[in-house]
Amino acid sequence: MKVKVSLFGLTDMLRFKNLAKNRLEAIENTKAEKLPEYPINDLAKYYHPYKQHLLIKDIREENETSKTFVLVPDAAEGTSKLAPFKAGSYISLYVDVHGEFISRAYAVSSSPEDAEKGIYEITVKRKEGGIVSGYLLDEAKIGDKLFSTEPGGFLTYDGLRDAKDVVAVAGGTGITPFVSMAKAISEGSEDFNLTILYGVKKESDIIYRAFLDGLKGKVKVVYVLEEGELPGAEKGLIDADLIRKYAPKGKAYSVFASGPNGLLDHMEKEVAKLGLPKKYFRLEHSPFTLEGDKNVYKMKVHVEGEVVEATARGDETVLAALERTHVVIRAKCHLGGCGYCRSRLLSGEIKTTKLSKVTDVDKDLHYFHPCCSYPVSDIEVEVYPY
């Protein structure tokens, strides 16, 4: 018996040794044939649509720097209903900025029930120098067409993993996933107690004010202002002491955090002081930027048998360079974690942000994630169009 186990082990080792080579051969020898249509495919497409065509149905001004966009399915382009999602999810939205489709991830602030009625809402805040936020806030209008990926993400409540009480820490438009959770709790599709600590610089930065002020029952909101006064609000920055103050006493609780990366880095340090089990702390970063060089590199793009010659700047991601070149690829998280933008580096050098995750097999085959990779030399890439 011992000998048999060893032999199996040896065979396994040999198989793994050649895994990358065999997989590459299998991929190269596989013909691209359309799969037959089974009824279950309709359900799969509903839950995981490849692409959702959307129309802007309404635009609401939240404050001086933010607007909420109401998005509905664009039946004329083939999308008749929207994919369902768990409160706290985000979509990657593709916006046509003067003929150039640029993708950005936005948390959905509407509820899962709204999605069943054919509505997603996202809130966009002006970012200094932001191409997409600037376009959406200044130029987008009702009736404009966009498209998106399916919703997804990790900042969602899971009754098996998370405590029944959640203290949510939000900064700026990081409130939007918690607005969706609050709506889902009010509608009964989620069942947990949510205390939101909503940090803003000043009172006028609060968005969704009327909705948040009207919440009661299982959802409580505490504003935390850096400047000025507001009855019932806390002052200063959200830290471990403030979380302790509003967390349930003598009971387990989870902490969810959403907002700018600076706030999330700060929360990682503060939450460490609380001694919570790791599973009780969840956050979702915004895309990281790397300090790139000012060089303009040559970029050769292989896309569906064609070769496009373009440029890529040292201070932009390869994804941004592709989008500038009108080569649209699938991208969802923009962080290097989902693998949607997986492409191949045929030659040249790149550097990547800290959250980029590429498997060892993919590394051997020179796959990389353009969403979080910056060129440091001329590059040649193979991409898969969306």
Interface with ligand FES by CB under 6 A: which residues? Answer: 331-334, 336-341, 369, 371
Q: Nearest approach, Cβ of 294 to ligand FES (angstroms)? A: 24
Q: Nearest approach, Cβ of 166 to ligand FES (angstroms)? A: 26
Is the CB of residue 157 less than 8 Å from the CB of residue 190? yes
Q: For 74-143, what is the HEC assignment?
A: CHHHCCCCCCCCCCCCEEEEEEEECCEEEEEEEEECCCHHHHHCCCEEEEEECCCCCHHHHHHHHCCCCC
Q: Nearest approach, Cβ of 338 to ligand FES (angstroms)? A: 3
Is the CB of residue 120 less than 8 Å from the CB of residue 71? yes
Q: Nearest approach, Cβ of 352 to ligand FES (angstroms)? A: 10
Considering beta carbons, is residue 93 or 215 the nearer one to ligand FES? Answer: 93
Residue 335, CA atoms < 13 Å, CB-side half-sphere: 16
Across the chain, the runs of DSSP E, i.e. the strands, are 52-63, 66-73, 90-97, 100-107, 120-125, 145-148, 165-171, 193-200, 219-225, 234-235, 254-258, 281-284, 296-303, 306-313, 343-347, 350-352, 367-368, 373-375, 379-383
How far apart CA 148 and CA 105 sit, in angstroms, is 9
Q: Nearest approach, Cβ of 76 to ligand FES (angstroms)? A: 27
Q: Nearest approach, Cβ of 336 to ligand FES (angstroms)? A: 5
Considering beta carbons, is residue 90 or 208 the nearer one to ligand FES? Answer: 90
Q: Nearest approach, Cβ of 304 to ligand FES (angstroms)? A: 19
Residue 286's closest CA among 164, 118, 173? Answer: 173
The SS3 call for residue 368 is strand
Q: Nearest approach, Cβ of 101 to ligand FES (angstroms)? A: 14
For β-strands 120-125 and 193-200, DSSP reports them as: unpaired
Considering beta carbons, is residue 153 or 177 the nearer one to ligand FES? Answer: 153
Considering beta carbons, is residue 106 or 253 the nearer one to ligand FES? Answer: 106
How far apart CA 152 and CA 86 sit, in angstroms, is 8
Considering beta carbons, is residue 190 or 316 the nearer one to ligand FES? Answer: 316
Cβ-proximal residues to 291 (8 Å cutoff; 6+ apart), any chain = 315
Q: Nearest approach, Cβ of 330 to ligand FES (angstroms)? A: 8
User: Where does residue 199 rank: exposed (0-12), middle (13-18), buried (19+ CB within 10 A)?
Assistant: buried
User: Where does residue 47 rank: exposed (0-12), middle (13-18), buried (19+ CB within 10 A)?
Assistant: exposed
Considering beta carbons, is residue 86 or 369 the nearer one to ligand FES? Answer: 369
Considering beta carbons, is residue 180 or 343 the nearer one to ligand FES? Answer: 343
Considering beta carbons, is residue 259 or 337 the nearer one to ligand FES? Answer: 337
Considering beta carbons, is residue 100 or 165 the nearer one to ligand FES? Answer: 100
